[in-house]
Structure 1
Amino acid sequence: MYRFLLTPRWLGYLALALVAAAVMVLLGNWQLDRYRARTAVNEQIDAGARMTPVPVADALAAPTGGRGTAGPAPAESVNWTKVTATGRYDTDNLVLVRGRTVDNSVGFEVLTPLVLADGSAVLVDRGWIPPAPGGAIAQPTVPDTPGGEVTVVGRVHPSERGGAVDRRDGRLETRRIDVSRLARELPYGVRGAYVLLDEQTPAADPTFKAVPIGHTNNWQNFGYVIQWWIFAGMTLIGYGWAARREARGRAGLDQPGPPVDRAAEPAPHAPA
């Protein structure tokens, strides 16, 4: 009944179905790997929020190349670690990071180098402020920076990539926090990641809004896993359904009809 499956045409259909299903399974596995990786990042973010702060020197190595250079980027396991650092803010080299969104509003994040006792600096993202009236890129009025010794507590944020660094009205501006590029504009070495501020002593100005650390959307990837695996199963089921339909059609064509009683048929009329 199913011998037709060994014909070249149906063997071709089978090969196509198997290849398509295999590709879909692999795509599902790829999305599963992404789900696991994103889940690990979310767990790391949550763990960083709960942990006791460690000295920044334990998380971020000091730069060894002198002024204008950045230290090595930390291992991924160090990202989102809560750290503490004490030093003095360098207000002359404050950096405005434009085009940043918090609570659905576009404004600036204020990045200020904190110069440590060893002469190196760590870039501290002190928070978000709105632009000045006139548009989303109008330079804001930055609240006063504390003078003297400052202690900060925050979480290690990996360096971003890209984004030109320029000066506008005497202030450094950028679109992306690329630590290595920003280091070239500074008169000292910089640690290889920046710190997203949680707490500060003396207290930070209330004008700043804390920059939230967003969790990755890992469940979207899990949904794609299910989707691809369902498609793979449907492909094989579709092949089986088509084969069964073909077999039933062939059985109907080959089955003999009921016997005909010739004696019961009327005799043909003779031609006039």
Structure 2
Amino acid sequence: MYRFLLSRQWVILTLVALLLIPTMIRLGIWQMHRYELRTARNQLVTEALTAKPVPVETLTSPGNTVTNTERYRTVTAKGRFDTADEVVVRRRTNSDDEVGYHVLTPFVLTDGKVLLVNRGWIASDGPSQTAFPKIPAPPRGEITVSGRLMPDETTAASGIKNLKGLPDRQVMLINSAQEARRLDARVLGGYIAQTAPEPKGDVPELVGNDPGSEDAALNYAYAIQWWLFSAAVPVGWVVLVRRELRDRRAAAAEKETSQNEPATV
């Protein structure tokens, strides 16, 4: 009665089931890996956000690469803003998904080094984004700024192309090495997203105060779901085999009954 399993239809069905089981198991493992990565990242972000503020030069220096454990750390710096060499970063959005600029202002420390400060978001003056926008001035003189330490932006990490031939004083990426060449100065690695002092009138609009957290629990649920699917495949195959066997036995019994019935006189 099980010879039907050698038919073309059942051979194909069995092969598909055998392929689905390891595929679903691997998908579950992949989702669990994503869960572990997101959980670890959320832990790093939480630790960074709750850490006490430290002077910026304790975490970065010229040519330094900001690490994942240093990202989002609150740092402080004492110096003055250099608005003469200020640039804007194109194609950045605010909390309402409006396209504008980020204002990137060099901050000259008391020892002469330069810290790049993202002072926040401003709207563009027009759709072409060719003219340098009007930017509210930062506080004058020597002040202390605070912000979240961020790594240099790269095309590989952000997906943003570093276009050439841009309008004057406009850039695509916030990159300390690039700005060091432009300014001919010792620029600290990375940059900070300013959190204090807050601008008057909320312009520029501060960015990066809360990086948020990724929903790792969703990946955990997906992993369990894929593994349940992989377990359901052999169970479903057995159910289909038993149903086919039952139908074939019923058909055989019906045929035998019809053959044993006496002929009508």
Q: Give the shorter-chain TM-score range.
A: 0.7 to 0.9
- Check 1:227–1:82 CA distance in 2 against 1; reply closer, same or farther (3 A cut): same
Give 1:99 shift: 1.5
Answer yes or no: is 1:168 the counterpart of 2:167.
Answer: yes
| More off after superposition, 99-108 vs 253-262 | 253-262
Match of 2:238 among 230, 237, 240: 240
Cα shift at 1:197: 0.9
Distance in 2 separating the partners of 1:236 and 1:183: 62
Compute the displacement of 1:226 (Å). 4.9
116-125 vs 232-241, which moves further: 232-241
Structure 1 partner of 2:200: 205
- Correspondence list, 1:151-230, <5 A: 151-162=144-155, 163-164=162-163, 168-169=167-168, 171=169, 173-200=170-197, 204-206=199-201, 207-212=203-208, 213-219=210-216, 221-222=219-220, 224-230=222-228
For residue 84 of structure 2, the aligned residue among 86, 92, 116 is 92
Paired residues of 1:165 and 1:181 also in contact (CA < 8 A): no
Relative to its length, the structure with more helix (as a share) is 2
Q: Is the 8 A contact 1:166 1:174 kept in 2?
A: no
Letter in 1 for 2:148: R
Correspondence list, 1:111-130, <5 A: 111-130=104-123
TM-superposed deviation, 1:101:
1.0
Q: Any gaps of 5 or more consecutive residues in structure 2?
A: 156-161
Secondary structure class of the residue paired with 2:244: helix
Question: Percent identity among equivalent residues?
Answer: 36
Task: Report the CA distance shift for 1:252/1:106 in structure 2 as closer, same or farther (over 3 A).
Answer: same
- Aligned 8 A contact 1:31 1:221 in 2: yes
Aligned length: 251
TM-score, length of structure 1 as denominator length: 0.77
* Matched residue, 1:74: 66
Unmatched 5+ stretches in structure 1: 64-70, 267-272
TM-score, normalized by length of structure 2? 0.79
Distance 1:205 1:165, change over 3 A: farther
* Structure 1 range deviating more: 72-81 or 39-48: 39-48
The whole-number CA distance in structure 2 between the counterparts of 1:4 and 1:39 is 49
Q: Is the CA contact 2:42–2:214 (under 8 Å) kept in the aligned structure 1?
A: no
**Deviation digits for residues 213-234 of structure 1, max 9, x if unmatched?**
4425435545543554454344
Between the aligned partners of 1:229 and 1:12, the Cα distance in structure 2 is 23
After TM superposition, give the deviation of residue 31 of structure 1 in Å.
2.4
Deviations 1:122-174 (A, max 9, x none): 21111112222x337253211113332221111111222132366634x2x12
Alpha carbons of structure 1 residues 167 and 243: separation in structure 2 relative to 1, 3 Å: same
In the TM superposition, residue 94 of structure 1 has moved relative to its aligned partner by 1.1
Answer with 1 or 2: which has the greater Rg: 1
Moved more, 240-249 or 252-261: 252-261
Q: Distance in 2 between matches of 1:143 and 1:198?
A: 16
RMSD: 2.9
